[in-house]
Chains A and B, each alone.
Chain A
Amino acid sequence: MTRTLQDFSFDKSEYERPTQPWICGRAESGEPCRIGPDETGRCRATFECRPVRKGDGWECARPRQWGGPCAGGPSPDGCCARPIPRCQPVRSMRSKRGHVVLWTCMATVGALAWLLAVPERRARVLLPGPLSGAHSAMETECDKCHQVSLGDTSGWPSAALVSTLGSGVQNLQCQVCHAWGADADRPHSLSARALAGMVVAAERTTGPKRGGSWRLSLAAAIAGGKRSATAPLSCVPCHDEHRGRSHRPAEISDEQCQVCHVRQFDGFAGHPAFADYPLESAVGIHFDHGSHRDHFTERGRDLRNRCDDCHRLTADGAAMAPTGFAASCAECHAAEIHGEGVEDVALNVMSLPGLDTETLRARGIAVGHWAEGLDGIITTTMKLILSAGNESIRRDLDRTQKMDWEDLAAADDEQLAAIARLAWAVKEFYFDLYVEGHGALGARLATALGRASGPGEANLWHGQLPVGLIREGIDEWMPNLLDEVPRHRRGERVESRGDAAGDASHEVDPAIGAAGTEGAPTDAAGDDLLGGGESEPPPDDDLLGGGDPDDLLGGGGQEPAPPGPVREPSPVATLSADEWMIGGGWFREHCVFRYRPTGHGDTFLRSWLDLAGRLSPSAEASADPAWLLFDYFGDPTSAGLCIRCHGVDEVPGSGRVVRWESTSPGSSGRAFVRFDHGPHVRLESRLGCDHCHVASADPPPKVGENPRRGRGFAPIEKSKCAECHQPERVGDSCLTCHQYHARPGYDISGSSPVGSTAGGRAMTDVSSAGR
């Protein structure tokens, strides 16, 4: 039989108390005392028993489990004769474990306190992981993205509980750099109206339909009942960070894309068919591929798959951008811009209008000297310049808009007063221009814009207007200008010298005064600055003739030279001024300062179209000088032919904006679609461009029609993309072709007018279209 060491008999087994914090120091050696230490770890050992009195003596009371009564018994005075040696109590195992726990906790708290004590160290310790490459520069600047301050930890506990995401406060941190417009917080950065419209349209066209994976169904069940389609969203759930340098915060899953959508599907196979893609892409140029293709085909040149003749892959590989006018268009169209085949090759910019001075004199109204016989009108450019920042002049222009300045017999006093004020405004402008030069023009236009002109901007407005041309014209038309305007400004009544002395020396020949009609070309040559054929050189002034005895070259005292042969008129003299100015620039024709475009990209025309467009508030103010000026300069048939090719957008708040660039980089004209030409161009050698871009027989767009439509190609069908975009081939995730955020200002509802014509979709902020 195996011997046992442990006896659990009631009188032989001591009751163990492992939960007590201290145990006897002699327990390990097998001789623990019966009492054991107290709660504080002090030894309580005295004697093995406390003798009990029995009659006159004492008896040992040692328990049986500790050996029973000892042989010697207590001393006569009742004291136990077996004292217990005192020990140094030791902690119980449980107490030791508790101490280890305590020290571990203290070490943890101490380490955390030390690590989080200093903000710089705090940033390193709390950084949950490296930021993505795009944000890596801000890795130690937590405050750039987070609401809570790294320096003040007192607000952390409350910030940990109270959400700032729903209020959009956190989003503001993101929008410091990522400006997605006024509706940045809403789904797709679209307005609530646009989102509501999308939902209604989607439900109307496809019917309420849910599908996709179980995750989508469950997610829709979780989120659907709580989230409105137009309710603001937080940036954070989609754009997680601190996942390492290679992480792309903009990537979200297809299911995340679709959770809000009315119609859900598992892949590109279930994607709705394309509607007119990419015909609505935003392009700036009226260009009909079809007509060009036909034109060159007729001449034996096959343009199929020759896109790279005129298009080049952009540096980022996103687009096949046009190579530009010089490379692609100039060969055939440069001459037209220079005036070939154009009815009027120059624009009337500044004029001296004809005025019924007789009636004014008869009604006692003094406007100083005014050349007689002019029958031109005040140009829209002049109207814009005169009314710049001057409401009084603007009202006078409105008041006299339908009046014939050359026949004021029927005008009432108020109208005549307005005419007089306008006449003086014209004179004052020319006076300022005469005296101050280009600065006078720049100052007035800056006033019209309501801001200082930008660097170099004013230089574009005057188009290098030569001083000699201006002063010569003014000297001829208004010889007393420098005297009259100061007097008028001093409040003096300024009569025409002709009024007092009948001086008609400055009258303009009626035959030459008819040139001032804006937009009407003139071929009158009587006042040709360059020498009309009817003028004969004064014989006595011929420096080379030698007939004059004082002729420097003729030799003094010599006999008059015999008369030479009769000179034929110079071939040059047969050219009109605008014909002579074939290279473009300023010239004066009769009472009008005209400008002939210098070629494609003429900065004068461009700057005035931009200016007039910017000052054109809306079509409702079509009588506004800026609106009229834009119509004149921007007429598709007027000199320069700018608007024959360049599209115009009406942008609320920005007026009419000419799309000078052929395309907006990165812009597809759609809110969410993006297409990267780069990888597709590599397929060209195998498939050819016309695999996707199929020629269309649609009629070309009319001049002035929205250039986004009808570019000579049929819409691209979804099946073309689906040939490769399959899960097992090149992938078919949503983000392959879509971007989540609509470009700022994009109004998907289409209610905003586009350009001046067809109602497509509006890019209401073209300045940021390329973002």
Chain B
Amino acid sequence: MTGVRLRRSVGLTAVGVLTVGAVALHNAGAVALYQISLATGALLFVMIVTATLLNVRKKAPFLPLGNTTDWLTFHMVVGLGTVVVYAIHTGGRWPDGILEFALAATYWSVIATGMAGWAFSRWLAPRLARRGENVLFERIGRFRAQLRAEAETLVLRAASEQGSTTIPDFYAAHLADFFDRPRHLVSHAVESDHPRHVLLGEVELLRRYLNAGERGVLDGLRELICLKDDLDYQYSGQAILKYWLFVHIPLTYALILLGLVHGITSGAFSGGLL
């Protein structure tokens, strides 16, 4: 059994055991006339805070706290476990109160973004590995500038050497904007090659009007278009993998704050937790 499968199996088993145990204890506790919702609420809060320890681990890589992959598995198992505890805590009801509504909405947003992040990592990573060069996200801008510079050099050379403005005109009309900034991000996100085919189609249409020298330049431009498109593809995928945390993490902290207020008020108005 590979490490990934082992971790996955252990995690799912842990979630299963947690589910069975929590359901059993909740049922028995309610029958035994305990204020079980206070206990499940406290457990839920602790689990949410525990799940955020992944972020601490990522910020302190120098500490001997185990590898990040194990922490990520732990994070996902605990996060999945909170869904079970949440369902038990609320009894499957959608809250009516203002604070509780905000809390529930925030919780489900965190869960949804977490699930989305997990899905992105499962879906996008192999795609990024299959297409184009795996460049560091921080270097994409530099490579984009490099490709633009190469393209502009080619175009200028064609103009000076061939004495024709066909390629420069084509570049200005169809390629300047393409090389200038990330393009077709949505199409890349949905795995669509349509914009790339359109551009390459334009290039092929132009080819019949060019002489041999210009065709050599056009071949160079065609290669740069493919490189730039692959770079945009990488940018699109890696941006998704990074920007979902812009929603997930802030909402998690908001959830903790709301949960803290909810815990204090619930405890105080329910007669005390201890």
Partners in one complex: yes
Q: Which residues of A contact B (CB under 8 A)?
A: 2-6, 16, 18, 23, 27-32, 93, 96-97, 100-101, 103-105, 107-109, 112, 115-116, 124-130, 142, 146-148, 155-157, 159-165, 170, 214-216, 218-223, 233-234, 236-238, 242-244, 253, 255-256, 259
Q: Is the CB of A112 within 8 A of B257?
A: yes
Number of residue pairs spanning A and B whose beta carbons lie under 8 angstroms apart: 184
Q: Does B96 sit within 8 A of A, measured CB to CB?
A: yes
Task: Give the chain B neighbours of A18 by CB distance below 8 A.
Answer: 137-138
Known pairs A112-B261, A164-B271, A256-B31 / 14 extra A-B pairs, C-beta < 8 Å? A2-B133, A28-B141, A29-B145, A105-B253, A109-B257, A112-B258, A156-B264, A156-B268, A160-B264, A219-B31, A219-B32, A223-B32, A253-B30, A259-B31
Bound form: Cα–Cα A371–B263 in Å: 88
Nearest-neighbour CB distance to chain B for A724, whole angstroms, equals 27
Q: Is the CB of B271 within 8 A of A128?
A: no
Q: Is the CB of A27 within 8 A of B29?
A: no
Bound form: Cα–Cα A723–B25 in Å: 36
Q: Is the CB of A125 within 8 A of B98?
A: yes
Closest 4 CB pairs of A and B: A30-B145, A160-B267, A163-B272, A104-B250
Pick from B133, B145, B258, B269: contact of A31, CB below 8 A. Answer: B145
Q: Does B123 sit within 8 A of A, measured CB to CB?
A: no
Bound form: Cα–Cα A553–B70 in Å: 132
Nearest-neighbour CB distance to chain B for A154, whole angstroms, equals 11
Hey, what's the 0/1 contact readout for B233-274 against A, CB within 8 Å counting as 1?
000000000100110011101100110010111111111111
Task: Give the chain B neighbours of A214 by CB distance below 8 A.
Answer: 24
Given contacts A16-B138, A97-B249, contact A3 B227 (CB under 8 A): yes
Task: Give the chain A neighbours of B266 by CB distance below 8 A.
Answer: 128, 160
Task: Give the chain B neighbours of A3 by CB distance below 8 A.
Answer: 223, 227
Pick from B35, B250, B272: contact of A159, CB below 8 A. Answer: B272
Bound form: Cα–Cα A101–B139 in Å: 25
Bound form: Cα–Cα A159–B274 in Å: 10
Count of chain B residues with Cβ under 8 Å from any Cβ of A? 60
Task: Give the chain B neighbours of A155 by CB distance below 8 A.
Answer: 268
Bound form: Cα–Cα A415–B263 in Å: 80
Q: Which residues of B contact A (CB under 8 A)?
A: 24-25, 27-35, 93, 95-100, 133-139, 141-149, 223, 227, 231, 242, 245-246, 249-251, 253-254, 257-258, 261, 263-274
Given contacts A100-B246, A101-B253, A218-B24, contact A160 B273 (CB under 8 A): yes
Given contacts A16-B136, A97-B246, A112-B261, contact A253 B31 (CB under 8 A): yes
Q: Is the CB of B272 within 8 A of A164?
A: yes
Q: Is the CB of B272 within 8 A of A127?
A: no
Q: Is the CB of B33 within 8 A of A233?
A: yes
Bound form: Cα–Cα A6–B142 in Å: 10
Task: Give the chain A neighbours of B146 by CB distance below 8 A.
Answer: 5, 30
Could you write out 6 A-B pairs with CB less than 8 Å apart?
A: A105-B250, A105-B254, A126-B269, A165-B35, A220-B32, A236-B270
Nearest-neighbour CB distance to chain A for B248, whole angstroms, equals 10
Task: Give the chain A neighbours of B273 by CB distance below 8 A.
Answer: 160-161, 163
The residue on A at minimum CB distance from B149 is A30
Task: Give the chain B neighbours of A164 by CB distance below 8 A.
Answer: 271-272
Nearest-neighbour CB distance to chain B for A195, whole angstroms, equals 15
Pick from A101, A116, A216, A244: contact of B249, CB below 8 A. Answer: A101
The residue on B at minimum CB distance from A256 is B31
Q: Is the CB of A259 within 8 A of B33?
A: yes
Nearest-neighbour CB distance to chain B for A431, whole angstroms, equals 65
Given contacts A112-B257, A126-B99, contact A93 B31 (CB under 8 A): no
Bound form: Cα–Cα A249–B155 in Å: 80
Task: Give the chain A neighbours of B30 by CB distance below 8 A.
Answer: 237, 253, 256
Bound form: Cα–Cα A214–B134 in Å: 56
Q: Is the CB of A108 within 8 A of B145?
A: no
The residue on B at minimum CB distance from A257 is B31
Bound form: Cα–Cα A46–B98 in Å: 56
Pick from B98, B99, B139: contact of A6, CB below 8 A. Answer: B139
Nearest-neighbour CB distance to chain A for B33, whole angstroms, equals 4
Nearest-neighbour CB distance to chain A for B115, whole angstroms, equals 19
The residue on A at minimum CB distance from B31 is A219
Bound form: Cα–Cα A127–B246 in Å: 31
Bound form: Cα–Cα A723–B147 in Å: 88
Pick from A5, A29, A105, A157: contact of B227, CB below 8 A. Answer: A5
Pick from B25, B33, B261, B272: contact of A161, CB below 8 A. Answer: B272
Pick from B32, B97, B264: contact of A222, CB below 8 A. Answer: B32
The residue on A at minimum CB distance from B272 is A163
Q: Is the CB of A32 within 8 A of B142?
A: yes
Task: Give the chain B neighbours of A128 by CB distance below 8 A.
Answer: 95-97, 99-100, 266
Given contacts A101-B249, A126-B97, A219-B28, contact A160 B272 (CB under 8 A): yes
Task: Give the chain B neighbours of A215 by CB distance below 8 A.
Answer: 27-28, 31
Q: Is the CB of B29 within 8 A of A219?
A: yes
Q: Is the CB of A148 within 8 A of B269?
A: yes
The interface centre, meaning the residue of B28, B142, B265, B273 with most chain A CB atoms within 10 A of its CB, is B28
The interface centre, meaning the residue of B93, B97, B143, B245 with most chain A CB atoms within 10 A of its CB, is B97
The interface centre, meaning the residue of A96, A115, A160, A236 with most chain B CB atoms within 10 A of its CB, is A160
Given contacts A108-B258, A128-B95, A129-B100, contact A30 B271 (CB under 8 A): no
Bound form: Cα–Cα A214–B27 in Å: 10
Given contacts A5-B227, A27-B141, A237-B35, contact A129 B96 (CB under 8 A): yes
Pick from B33, B144, B223: contact of A30, CB below 8 A. Answer: B144
The interface centre, meaning the residue of A127, A165, A214, A219 with most chain B CB atoms within 10 A of its CB, is A219
Bound form: Cα–Cα A472–B147 in Å: 134
Given contacts A18-B138, A30-B144, A142-B269, contact A160 B31 (CB under 8 A): no
Pick from B34, B138, B231, B249: contact of A223, CB below 8 A. Answer: B34
Given contacts A5-B143, A100-B246, contact A126 B265 (CB under 8 A): yes
Given contacts A16-B138, A28-B141, A104-B250, contact A222 B34 (CB under 8 A): yes
Bound form: Cα–Cα A28–B146 in Å: 11
Task: Give the chain A neighbours of B268 by CB distance below 8 A.
Answer: 146, 148, 155-157, 159-160
Nearest-neighbour CB distance to chain A for B113, whole angstroms, equals 13
Pick from A129, A142, A218: contact of B28, CB below 8 A. Answer: A218
Q: Is the CB of A162 within 8 A of B257?
A: no
Q: Is the CB of B271 within 8 A of A147?
A: yes
Bound form: Cα–Cα A557–B80 in Å: 129
Task: Give the chain B neighbours of A100 by CB distance below 8 A.
Answer: 246, 249-250
Task: Give the chain B neighbours of A97 by CB distance below 8 A.
Answer: 245-246, 249-250
Nearest-neighbour CB distance to chain B for A131, whole angstroms, equals 11
